[in-house]
Amino acid sequence: MDRADEDEARAWPAAGTPGRLAVASYLTAPAGAAAQYRLIVDALLDEQTRSLAGVSRSGLETLLRNRAPEPLTGRPPGGKMEPLPLSDRLDQLVAWGVAVTWPGPADEPWYQLSADAARLHTAVQSLGPDAPAARPGASAAASAAPPVLAAQLARLAEAIPGDPAAATQAWSALRTTLAAMTEAAAAWRAGLAAAQAGAPDPARVAARQDALRRYLDVWGGGVDRHGPSIAAQAAQLLEAGPPAWRPAALHSLGAAVPDDRLAALLDDYRATLNALLTWFGPGDNAARRLRRQLRDVLLPLTGGHRSPAAVRGQLSARADLLALAGALERSPSDDAAWSLWSAATGLFAARHLPHPTPQPAGPAGAVSFWTAEPAPVTAALGSAASAADPGPRPGTEGPVAAQASQVARLTDRSAARAAARAAFAAEQVAAGATEQAIQARSGLRLSAWTGLDAAQLDVLLSFLAVLAGARPGPDGSRTIRTPDGRWTVRADPTPDGAPPPAVIRTPAGQLIHPDLRLTITTALPALAGNPR
């Protein structure tokens, strides 16, 4: 390394960036040396399950010989394995801080893993092709974390005032469940990210569907149901502060615990509650971010099933799905996002158009499912090879198969939709004219409301119905806002002296009512078609 490289190597750690982790150096050694280092560290770590006194050099040789035949004395028959220079490897592990050595009986060196190396190698053993299979029970327990967290928070809130033992148990369950949930969420993210990388194949699709199923079936519903209560209870416990937590901490550590250990445990309590608020608190919390990430995976997945199966890539809803995802992301609230999602996916009440629509021609266009002739069904997603091969597949030749593979033509309702839009526009124009006529009568007494048509009469009757149930103010006037939020109406009482009631002639007959003065203002923008 030249002088410039040395200066740069010293400058980066001085700037506060992460530096070299010497205890992990054995993992990045050349391939042959790395295998030998792994063999030694595996033996030392496994020996800790039987004894904490360390391993002598001769004992280590025996452990290594049992793990790998002939690792020390020579090459295996027909192989090219180099002998293990055990002394050099042990000295290097000690230099890296992976192992600790000390002289034992008869000055024989003894060895033990350092605490950092033991934690690191425990994590290393959970990775790689030889790692044990994932624990489905742990994943299932993490999936059910929201109801468990809510129940333990409620138990903790009840136990804190006078039951330190129960509070300690609740704290422990909270911390363990939160850690499992966080680990499971990280595993879901990692699995989905890996499944998204590269071209889809059966293994990636299966991994994607498995993670989505676990989230949607268990964890996602639990967040919706228990998230608000978790956030509220965690905020209340944080507001109570360390004085309320102290009895539980003393019960856990003992009355003679040093102040620094007690403060550390109280800080851990605070970190646990803050982590719960990070996951379930108001605003853009971690649960919402995870939901958005899974939603971004779910939308292309649902859109991708029909395209390969029906038209083999000739039709794609990618642009529509991306536009929908962007609109959902920009929604101001969850309610607005759900309304948009319901409208986009058809999850709303049926609205029948009053205009006839001819049935389309083509396969299955006007044939009932119950009376249609059987059609052959082909496996469009039979294998990754068939999905990648654009050529014809077995069972897709011939007119019957070609007709069965076509997409059924949808009913053309464009004329009916156009007629419905025109009718709605006409209704809006008429409503705008009615609104203008009502607004022009603001400030007049009812006796001056002449020339009312049926639409204006309906609006006036709605005003009078709401005013009849309003409580008068000190001056006898009543002010109301209509249920649709469009109008604000103030009714001044009739003058003293019992004036005659107003008689209003309408197309439906005469309306007789006390001669109130109505002051009307619009609370919403004018309707389309209103010339104002």
Q: Are 115 and 183 part of one and the same domain?
A: no
Report the distance separating Cα 155 and Cα 164, nearest Å: 11
Q: Which of 203-207, 278-282, 406-410 has the lowest mean pLDDT?
A: 406-410
pLDDT at position 340 is 84
Report the distance separating Cα 258 and Cα 5, nearest Å: 47
Q: Are 163 and 227 part of one and the same domain?
A: yes
Structurally, the chain folds into a number of domains equal to 3
Q: At CA 118, angle to CA 113 and CA 120, rounded to 5?
A: 135
Residue 482 has pLDDT above 50, yes or no: yes
Q: In terms of pLDDT, which residue wins out, 185 or 55?
A: 55
Q: Using alpha carbons, select from 66, 31, 33 the residue that is nearest to residue 47.
A: 66
pTM (global) more than 0.75: no
Residue 241 has pLDDT above 60, yes or no: yes
How do residues 106-152 score in pLDDT, each as one tens digit? 888 999 988 888 888 887 877 655 554 445 545 555 667 888 888 88
At 229, the pLDDT band (50, 70, 90 cuts) reads: confident
Q: Using alpha carbons, select from 98, 119, 102, 111 the residue that is nearest to residue 52.
A: 111
Q: Which of 228-237, 272-281, 358-367 has the lowest mean pLDDT?
A: 358-367
In percent, how much of the chain has pLDDT > 70? Answer: 66
- Which domain-ending residue is among 296, 315, 339? 296
Q: Are 114 and 146 part of one and the same domain?
A: no
> Which of 195-209, 293-307, 311-325 has the largest mean confidence?
195-209
- The structure tokens listed for 483 are 């249920």
Q: Are 152 and 272 part of one and the same domain?
A: yes
Q: Is residue 399 part of a domain?
A: no
Q: Which of 246-255, 267-276, 484-493, 517-526 has the lowest mean pLDDT?
A: 517-526
Residues 464-491 have a mean pLDDT of 84
Residue 244 has pLDDT above 80, yes or no: yes
Residues 301-308 have a mean pLDDT of 45
Report the distance separating Cα 293 and Cα 315, nearest Å: 25
Q: Is residue 71 part of a domain?
A: yes
Q: Are 69 and 91 part of one and the same domain?
A: yes
- Which domain-ending residue is among 255, 279, 296? 296
Residue 489 has pLDDT above 80, yes or no: yes
Residue 36 has pLDDT above 80, yes or no: yes
Look over the chain and give the mean of its residue pLDDT values, rounded to a whole number.
74
Q: Which domain holds residue 113?
A: 19-125
CB 402 within 8 A of CB 396: yes
pLDDT at position 355 is 61
- The structure tokens listed for 20 are 């070299």
Q: Which of 31-35, 311-315, 398-402, 415-419 has the lowest mean pLDDT?
A: 311-315
- Which domain-ending residue is among 103, 125, 147? 125
> What is the identity of the amino acid at 444?
L
CATH code, domain with 117: 1.10.10.10
Q: At CA 428, angle to CA 422 and CA 431, rounded to 5?
A: 145
